[in-house]
Amino acid sequence: MLPLPDIHLPDTARAGLIRGAARLARLVAPTFGPTAKTVLMERRYGKPEASRDGAFIAQRTEWDDPLENAGLKMVRAAACRTRDAAGDGTVATILMVDELLKYGERAIASGVAPDDMTAGIRCAAERIDACLRALSRPVSGRDELLSLAKAVTGDADLAALVEQAAEAVGAAGLVRCEQAQGREDRLEIRPGMQIETGILRESFLEGAIRDRLNLQETWVLVHEAPLDRLDPLVPILEKVLDTGRPLVIFSEGIGGEALASLEMNMREGVMRCLPVKVPGFGVRRRGLMEDIACATGGRVISRATGEDVRHAGLHDLGQAGAVNATRTRVDLLDGQGAEADIERHRRSLDCQIEETCSPFDREALQLRRARLDAGVAVLHVTGADEVSGKYRREAVRKAVRSVQAARLSGTVPGSGVAYLKALAADHDAGLGGMDDMGAGRACLARALERPLRQIVGNMGGDPGWACHAARAGATPDPDVRDATDVTRAALREAVSCACMILGVGGAVARAPHRDETELLE
């Protein structure tokens, strides 16, 4: 039986939440900046994990005190939103939340009204955000992207692979990171539309060991339902045979006499064909079929819309310049789909990506969109052992997201300098004043210094001097840049989380159940 929850009044509730956020900030602070250290997280089952990502560390952390744990969860949610929006900036978010809470609590203790103070924080944050947009400039070249990737990965070779991958697929393309099978990191570019699926019968493949099939100027039939009988396919097969060109059939599955007949035609040289089972289930399989049809200029023949393959003509089929198949995948190259239709399909996928809240659905939609563009880049990353390999792959994923965010939104001065430059550009945003809103503006001005102070402190320098120099216009390292979207997302989520905690008027909290926390591990 779970214990009854405890009810906490405003001061006690707010103080507990702030303690939980402060403990998390102290935990992740050493992971910030060029001299960043890793945090090693022990797991009850399995090997430990190492990371420098604030959101990942927060997801693996729990406090015993229920109020402190609630504060941790609120900051964790803010860091995860920053990561989902821009790919990086999670530690900066946590540090700025901690600073806003520390100085906001002092202001409330001195008699400042929380509502007016948080209004001042939000107002000043909007002005700083506008200044950050004004400071942003487009990426100047490869060197800037390399510097950005190296700052995240800490490895020049990995940074070069990340830059090459981002360049190959474009700003909106998809870069995937997988575990390498060998001992070397490598980049694989998968051009065109690549469908990872198993061939139904190896007898359709050619070569000395029947491991590949290359078809040129190919017709593409996309059929949603399974195909077991031969009769419905005969009319369209005769029309394709008259053209003398090969045929690829994508469907939910092909079996029975239909598969046997296609196999016999292939073996006897009557017609070169390749039946392919489309991977996935339900909506995802249907979406992939629509992508194939759009890329090749065909249609999805579906019983749900009253269509029958018996009545299909060549105008219902798609076309591809080449189809390369192996035992594990099929590559569609040079699809003949109309550019206007493909662009309309891209926009539809972009809308779905923006609307979805699930990271899994978002990655699946991004993969579908990438197949319509320059293809997919796969980074195969290795490590000396399981712990270091997982750590390096996580760093590569962060670097990829940062580089792509920079290509889309531009860059601003890095190491937290952009916040102080924005603060200097808009004096009213950091002006304290004597009223309660002025106290909020002063809290934000102090919080904007925290990223630079932490970086310089981790390097053993003088944080106060560094902040003074940045306000005066000096930049510690002009070559260090951050993606504009990362900088803005970190500020936006930090302000949102801090204002929520500072406005708390009470809390109902229950200590985490031991069995539940063990299951989470």
Q: Which amino acid is located at 43 in the chain?
A: R
Lowest mean pLDDT among 243-247, 287-291, 431-435, 510-514: 510-514
Strand partners, 468: none
> Are 98 and 449 contacting, i.e. CB atoms less than 8 angstroms apart?
no
Q: What is the pLDDT of residues 475-486, one digit of tens each?
A: 666 667 888 999
Work out the percent of the chain whose per-residue pLDDT is above 70: 90
Q: What is the pLDDT of residues 338-378, one digit of tens each?
A: 888 888 888 888 888 888 877 778 878 877 777 776 567 88
Q: What is the pLDDT of residues 186-205, one digit of tens each?
A: 888 766 677 777 666 777 87
CA distance 265 to 42: 59
CA distance 183 to 176: 18
| Chain mean pLDDT for the chain | 83
CA distance 339 to 425: 45
Q: Where in the chain is CATH 1.10.560.10?
A: 6-137+411-520
The answer on pLDDT for 227 being more than 70 is: yes
Q: What pLDDT was estimated at residue 254?
A: 83
Region class of 46: left (phi > 0), else alpha (psi between -120 and 50), else beta? left
Q: Where in the chain is CATH 3.30.260.10?
A: 142-191+374-409
CB-based contacts of 288-292 (< 8 A; 24+ apart in sequence): 288/195, 288/368, 289/222, 289/224, 289/250, 290/345, 291/193, 291/345, 291/368, 291/371, 291/372, 292/193, 292/195, 292/220, 292/222, 292/250, 292/318, 292/332
Secondary structure in 3-state letters for 28-74: HHHHCCCCCCCEEECCCCCCCEEECCHHHHHHCCCCCCHHHHHHHHH
The answer on pLDDT for 172 being more than 70 is: no
- What would the mean pLDDT of 242-254 be, rounded to a whole number? 88
Highest mean pLDDT among 150-154, 275-279, 517-521: 275-279
The answer on pLDDT for 298 being more than 80 is: yes
> Are 127 and 135 contacting, i.e. CB atoms less than 8 angstroms apart?
no
Q: What pLDDT was estimated at residue 302?
A: 84
Q: Which CATH architecture has domain 6-137+411-520?
A: Orthogonal Bundle (1.10)
> Are 324 and 317 contacting, i.e. CB atoms less than 8 angstroms apart?
no
Q: Quickly tell me which residue has 């900051």 as its tokens.
A: 75
Higher pLDDT among residues 299 and 429, named by residue: 299
CA distance 233 to 244: 17
Q: What is the pLDDT of residues 10-50, one digit of tens each?
A: 778 889 999 999 999 999 999 988 888 889 888 777 788 88
Q: What does 217-275 look like in DSSP terms, one character per residue?
A: EEEEEEESS-B--SGGGHHHHHHHHHHT--EEEEES-B-HHHHHHHHHHHHHTS--EEE
The answer on pLDDT for 515 being more than 50 is: no
Q: Which residues fall within 8 angstroms of residue 401, CB to CB, at 6 or more apart?
A: 83, 86, 87, 88
Q: What pLDDT was estimated at residue 199?
A: 64
Q: What pLDDT was estimated at residue 360?
A: 77
> Are 95 and 454 contacting, i.e. CB atoms less than 8 angstroms apart?
yes
Confidence at 118, pLDDT banded by 50, 70, 90: very high
Fold of 142-191+374-409: GROEL; domain 2 (3.30.260)
C-beta neighbour count of 42 within 10 angstroms: 10
Give how far Cα 185 sits from Cα of 179, 391, 401, 429, Å: 9, 14, 18, 46
- What would the mean pLDDT of 123-151 be, rounded to a whole number? 88
Helix (H, G, I), strand (E, B) or coil at 412: strand
Total-model pTM: 0.73
CA distance 205 to 62: 53
Lowest mean pLDDT among 46-55, 150-159, 509-518: 509-518
Name the token pair of 1: 């039986």
> Are 153 and 400 contacting, i.e. CB atoms less than 8 angstroms apart?
no
CA distance 194 to 292: 10
Q: What pLDDT was estimated at residue 265?
A: 83
Q: What pLDDT was estimated at residue 427?
A: 67
Strand partners, 190: 376
Domain 194-337: which CATH class? alpha beta
Q: Where in the chain is CATH 3.50.7.10?
A: 194-337
| CA atoms within 13 A of residue 48's CA, in its CB half-sphere | 8
Confidence at 71, pLDDT banded by 50, 70, 90: very high
Lowest mean pLDDT among 66-80, 306-320, 382-396, 460-474: 460-474
> Are 441 and 431 contacting, i.e. CB atoms less than 8 angstroms apart?
yes
Higher pLDDT among residues 304 and 422, named by residue: 422
Strands 318-326 and 329-335: antiparallel
